[in-house]
Structure 1
Amino acid sequence: MPSKPAPIKKAAKKEPAKKEEAKAPEAAPAEAAPAETAPAPAEVEAAPAEAAAPAEEEPTPPPADAAAPAREETPAAAEAPADAAASTEETPAAATAEAPADAAAAPAAEEVAPAVDAEAPADAEAPPPEELKPPSPPPPPPKEPTSAPVDLFVEDKNDTSVTIIWSQPEVVGNSGLDGYTIEICKDGTEDWKAVNEELQKSCRFVIKNQTTGDRLKIRVVAVNAGGRSPPVALPEAVLVKEVANRPKVRLPRFLRQRYVANVGEKINLSIPFTGKPKPVVTWTKDGQPLDTKRVNIRSTDRDSILFIRTAERDDSGVYEMCVKVEDFEDKASLILQIVELPGPPASVKIVDTWGFNVALEWTPPKDNGNTEITGYTVQKADKKTGDWFTVLDHYHRLNATISDLIMGNIYKFRVFAENKVGMSENATVAKEEAKILKTAIDYKPPEYKERDFTEAPKFTTSLNDRATTVGYSTKLLCSVRGFPKPKVIWMKNQMIIGDDPKYRQVCVQGICTLEIRKPGNFDGGVYSCKAKNTLGEATVSCKLEVKQPVVPDSEKK
């Protein structure tokens, strides 16, 4: 029984040591380094227990006090087991010598050790979170170069340069892409040289200042922080020489027909063409070389310009442009026509004069202004006033008849010529004058038969039956026609009314009216209107009813 408290005290000292080892693995390796030479884990676990035995001989505080530091885990308590373990590892012989002397304590230590080992992992797995140290960051991955560029081919070339294009690498990596290096070497050698001093950012490069006829091997390398990528090279060496294309003149549509310009205008015609290498351009006019004093030619790689500062009639003609590349050539022609106002007609004469008419004839102008005549303008002037008036304009024939002239006047005539530019500045005047003579005229008016308008009377509107009230005047109306003017007679019950003042008879322009003034009970009956002339007579009748007014019953009483 007395031997049991000692192992408990040893276990209490051993537990802080294991916790400290779990908390600070980086501080203990220097002291624990000899422990790596231990032959077996059993001996390592027993060594701290035996090393704690000398600590019992030294004055120690009661077991309760010894357990307190273990719970508080102060740095002093943590260092004590570590020192004890170190001393035990340094003197294994002393530990083995004390083992037989304290035989009773050894079994006790062996019984407690498993319990301590079982508790230690539990304490080590749950350390206080505030004392954990952050893990150190992983080392950065190594920088790698990109993959090789792709799709390298020749875009264009000429006698001194080669233009290449390519696409960026499929795999760029984590280091990005800084640029490209373009390298060349002559065919048959491996002496590669970079042609760009600084890294090329774009995927297009012009290799300049090369010798015509050389064969070059070309490759491109992508560069980044990881170094150079594998190169991509052209499958075959490139011959430094202009690619020959057949020349072709592309004559604009408006020049495929006759090009017309006025005298004095500026002419500037640009004609594009294609072909490689740059075609040789030549011009001719009507099959002869151009007069460089009058016509200027300026050619570029793409077009040729024909320029005339001030056009003249002599500049008209057929101009031919020829472009030539090696043994190939192409030609195009354009017709240039410089026009101006025409001259006047060559002659004008009066052919005949009769009545109020004059016949004229004229001939075309000698100078048509380098274009066709589109018409003529004819004017006349009275000799008394001398004012000219246009009689015909845009007239296409070479003869005309002028009419509606005034009798007794003397006239002069002149003619202008017209073309697409305009009317001639001058006119040709007829030498003769035309005099319109006064002649006696016997006027005989035509004889017309007088129309016979005689007609027997005829009523166009008849009388209508009417009804009226006693004391209210009324009218009877009808209309009649006839020639000579018919006589109108009004009758009542076949009796002629005559000049009775009760009746008023009016007949104006065939409209016949009979007004009955305030008729009475005996004024009703049949009224008739008779029209009569030498050719006959006509009669119309109507019935007139005169009613009594309605008297209310109150008035009767």
Structure 2
Amino acid sequence: MPAKPAPIKKAAKPKEKPAEPEPAPAEPAPAEAPAEAPPAEAAPAEAAPPAEAAPAAEEAPAAAPEAPAEAPADAPAEAAPAAEEAAAPAAPEAPAEAAAPAAEEAAADAAPAAEAPADAAAAPAEGEAPAPAEGEAPAEGEAAPAEPVEEVKAPTPPPPPEPTSEPLELGVEDVTDTTVIISWRPPATVGKDGLDGYTVEIAKEGTDDWKAANEELTISCRYVIKNQTTGDRLNIRVVAMNPGGRSPPAALPESVLVKEVGERPKIRLPRFLRQRYVKGVGDKINIVIPFVGKPAPAVSWTKDGEPLDTKRVNVRNSDRDSIFFIRQSERDDSGTYEMTVKVESFEDKASFVLQICELPGPPASVKIADTWGFNVALEWTEPKDNGNTTITGYTIQKADQKTGDWYTVVEHYHRMNATISDLIMGNSYKFRVYAENKCGRSEEATCTKDAAKILKTGIDYKPPIYKEHDFSEAPKFTTEMPNRSTTVGYTAKLLCSVRGCPKPQIVWMKNQMIIGEDPKFRQINNQGIVSLEIRKPGSFDGGVYACRAKNALGEATITCKLEVKQPVIVEKEK
């Protein structure tokens, strides 16, 4: 009795291109199996021997799926895991008791099926999932095929970086016997990629053997090419580097001879040393004198034509300047110092005068030359020690022998004789003189040996005779008294000024009547300013007022008119 074929289980479709096999026949046909079997290269696996089919059947569930008739050669490998995942949840549906008889029945059916070459060729390899038949949907629990993903276009690659333009204005700054100093300016076009640095390349004249002078890129636009052989001629060029590579080289138009360029020596003496340089005893002296010359000049110093005393003076020389240094100056350091700079057969000299001064001594002598009235004439001589500098002046002091206190009479006096005046009669005076120079006043002074006594002499005072001036004058009004107007009830005041000697008598009149001591009127006469105050005048107080001034030499009168007005009262409208 032929074995009953197992029910076909629907397998998951592959994700990319599902296979389209033909539906398998209900019963195997041995005669037609070889014709329908795919070629050996397309079969996923060889036919399993009967020995291996039995355990596979025991592990299978109640219904084993039937292999498809044809397996596509281009079936993707991803279908096998998908089939295993789909088969896993289907196993628990069969009851545990039915698993053993179903496994035995499947093993019996698998033995004759293994003998058929067509079924063996069409069966999938162990662990692979069978492809579903055309038009069938994937089983429940199996993953649905993914939709085809649209291709994403790759971004356009950025343009490759470009090198910079060549450096500009390449030139030689200086040349010595072993070095060449060059400088240049950055390229005109650097670009957005920036600049990594510069490479300096050299080659001997007549060769194309260019070598980099700097092991690492230099960022500075100045470079010192060192360790060169004296007498060589070098071709020099500079290349700018960036991510784009090398720029066009900037080369010197002519080769450079490695040789010290000679320069005549020249001393640049500071301006303050072009005249006498004066310092005090104990001061520190530090002078820097620059010079030029190539090769490095030889520097030498002398003092008054003799070599320097290195115990007193320190000299430190460099290629550009010489430092003259004295820690604590003394008077013996004064003199003429000469500096000589020599390059081969050329030399330059410069000298300056250093003068160390201190406080001077007092004048050699001071004496009283003459005395008359309230005056004393003094004379003195220059001090023996001027402090190694010129005397700039003298200070003179006096002292009254009654008190003994000294008072300064004259300071910064330039002559060596002086006249002291305004002395007190009957007193005796002594005098002393100090000397002064740039460092200050001498510590001591020279005093007169004798005292100058101002004698008392009889003086007849005759006062001058002056002719007395006659100030007598008749009264005279110096200002006019203008007419006035006022309102009833408002105080009025009349003013005028008068002069005269002797002092004139003032009389006020109203309408040619003397006012007298009427309390309504107030009369004031102060230093020639005459005033009449009318207190709260009425309408009858108006009229002609006159002021008369009289003394022994005459009289004078001045008049004015006073008008008293009534106030205007406007009745209110009803």
Indicate yes or no: 2:345 matched with 1:327: yes
SS in 2 for 1:311: coil
Per-residue deviation, residues 95-129 of structure 1 (Å, max 9, x unmatched): xxxxxxxxxxxxxxxxxxxxxxxxxxxxxxxxxx9
* TM superposition shift of 1:244: 3.5
Q: Which residue of 2 aligns with 1:156?
A: 175
Alignment of 1:500-515 (within 5 A): 508=525, 511=530
Please give the alpha-carbon distance, in whole angstroms, between the structure 1 residues aligned to 2:184 and 2:486: 119
Alignment of 1:212-361 (within 5 A): 242-361=260-379
Counterpart AA for 1:287: G
Alignment of 1:37-186 (within 5 A): 156-158=175-177, 161-163=178-180
Per-residue deviation, residues 44-92 of structure 1 (Å, max 9, x unmatched): xxxxxxxxxxxxxx999xxxxxxxxxxxxx8689xxxxxxxxxxxxxxx
Q: Which residue of 2 aligns with 1:173?
A: none
Please give the alpha-carbon distance, in whole angstroms, between the structure 2 residues aligned to 1:478 and 1:205: 104
Higher helix share: 1
SS in 2 for 1:314: helix
Please give the alpha-carbon distance, in whole angstroms, between the structure 2 residues aligned to 1:363 and 1:416: 11
Please give the alpha-carbon distance, in whole angstroms, between the structure 1 residues aligned to 2:255 and 2:569: 138
Per-residue deviation, residues 344-367 of structure 1 (Å, max 9, x unmatched): 112111111111111111112222
Q: Is the 8 A contact 1:380 1:388 kept in 2?
A: yes
Counterpart AA for 1:407: M
CA change 1:206–1:354 in 2 (3 A) is: same
Please give the alpha-carbon distance, in whole angstroms, between the structure 2 residues aligned to 1:167 and 1:463: 100
Please give the alpha-carbon distance, in whole angstroms, between the structure 2 residues aligned to 1:482 and 1:194: 121
Please give the alpha-carbon distance, in whole angstroms, between the structure 2 residues aligned to 1:306 and 1:282: 11
Per-residue deviation, residues 124-169 of structure 1 (Å, max 9, x unmatched): xxxxx9899999xxxxx9xxxxx9xx989895333xx34476999x
- Of 405, 410, 415, 2:428 maps to 410
Counterpart AA for 1:364: E
Per-residue deviation, residues 207-231 of structure 1 (Å, max 9, x unmatched): 5396xx7768889999x9x9xx99x
Q: Is the 8 A contact 1:154 1:162 kept in 2?
A: no
Please give the alpha-carbon distance, in whole angstroms, between the structure 2 residues aligned to 1:208 and 1:134: 58
Q: Is the 8 A contact 1:181 1:199 kept in 2?
A: no
Counterpart AA for 1:340: E
Q: Which residue of 2 aligns with 1:8?
A: none
Please give the alpha-carbon distance, in whole angstroms, between the structure 1 residues aligned to 2:487 and 2:149: 135
CA change 1:201–1:437 in 2 (3 A) is: same
Per-residue deviation, residues 313-344 of structure 1 (Å, max 9, x unmatched): 12111111112222222211122111211221
CA change 1:444–1:201 in 2 (3 A) is: same
SS in 2 for 1:272: strand
CA change 1:411–1:551 in 2 (3 A) is: closer
Q: Is the 8 A contact 2:201 2:210 kept in 1?
A: no
Say what the alpha-carbon RMSD is for the aligned residues. Answer: 6.1
* TM superposition shift of 1:279: 1.9
* TM superposition shift of 1:458: 3.7
Please give the alpha-carbon distance, in whole angstroms, between the structure 2 residues aligned to 1:551 and 1:293: 115
Please give the alpha-carbon distance, in whole angstroms, between the structure 2 residues aligned to 1:178 and 1:543: 112
Please give the alpha-carbon distance, in whole angstroms, between the structure 2 residues aligned to 1:162 and 1:472: 112
SS in 1 for 2:439: coil
Structure 1, 352-361 or 540-549: larger mean CA deviation? 540-549
Q: Which residue of 1 aligns with 2:400?
A: 382
SS in 1 for 2:440: coil
* TM superposition shift of 1:549: 11
Please give the alpha-carbon distance, in whole angstroms, between the structure 1 residues aligned to 2:506 and 2:170: 124
Mind listing any 5+ residue stretches in structure 2 that lack a counterpart? 1-33, 37-71, 76-147, 155-159, 161-165, 188-195
Please give the alpha-carbon distance, in whole angstroms, between the structure 2 residues aligned to 1:325 and 1:525: 117
CA change 1:464–1:337 in 2 (3 A) is: closer
Indicate yes or no: 2:436 matched with 1:426: no
Q: Which residue of 2 aligns with 1:364?
A: 382
Q: Which residue of 2 aligns with 1:454?
A: 472
CA change 1:398–1:506 in 2 (3 A) is: same
* TM superposition shift of 1:392: 0.6
Q: Which residue of 1 aligns with 2:227?
A: 208
Indicate yes or no: 2:419 matched with 1:401: yes
* TM superposition shift of 1:265: 1.1
Counterpart AA for 2:283: E
* TM superposition shift of 1:390: 0.8
Structure 1, 277-286 or 395-404: larger mean CA deviation? 277-286
Please give the alpha-carbon distance, in whole angstroms, between the structure 2 residues aligned to 1:545 and 1:215: 125
CA change 1:404–1:281 in 2 (3 A) is: same
Q: Is the 8 A contact 1:504 1:516 kept in 2?
A: yes
* TM superposition shift of 1:263: 1.1
Please give the alpha-carbon distance, in whole angstroms, between the structure 2 residues aligned to 1:199 and 1:347: 83
Please give the alpha-carbon distance, in whole angstroms, between the structure 2 residues aligned to 1:483 and 1:167: 104
Counterpart AA for 2:469: R
Q: Is the 8 A contact 2:394 2:414 kept in 1?
A: yes
CA change 1:208–1:344 in 2 (3 A) is: same
Please give the alpha-carbon distance, in whole angstroms, between the structure 2 residues aligned to 1:321 and 1:366: 33
SS in 2 for 1:391: strand
CA change 1:440–1:75 in 2 (3 A) is: same
* TM superposition shift of 1:247: 2.2
* TM-score, length basis structure 2: 0.54
Counterpart AA for 1:448: Y
* TM superposition shift of 1:292: 2.1
SS in 2 for 1:373: coil
Per-residue deviation, residues 454-510 of structure 1 (Å, max 9, x unmatched): 33344456777778999999888766544445566677877x769897997967466
SS in 1 for 2:412: strand
- How many percent identity over aligned positions? 58
CA change 1:352–1:75 in 2 (3 A) is: same
* TM superposition shift of 1:431: 1.4
* TM superposition shift of 1:302: 2.2
CA change 1:550–1:415 in 2 (3 A) is: closer
Counterpart AA for 1:357: N
Please give the alpha-carbon distance, in whole angstroms, between the structure 1 residues aligned to 2:424 and 2:385: 35
Q: Which residue of 2 aligns with 1:52?
A: none
Paired positions, count: 411
* TM superposition shift of 1:399: 1.2
CA change 1:178–1:244 in 2 (3 A) is: closer
Q: Is the 8 A contact 1:473 1:519 kept in 2?
A: no
Mind listing any 5+ residue stretches in structure 1 that lack a counterpart? 1-57, 61-73, 78-128, 136-140, 142-146, 171-175
Counterpart AA for 2:274: R
Q: Which residue of 2 aligns with 1:27?
A: none
Counterpart AA for 2:343: V
CA change 1:177–1:294 in 2 (3 A) is: closer
Please give the alpha-carbon distance, in whole angstroms, between the structure 2 residues aligned to 1:475 and 1:154: 101
Counterpart AA for 2:280: N
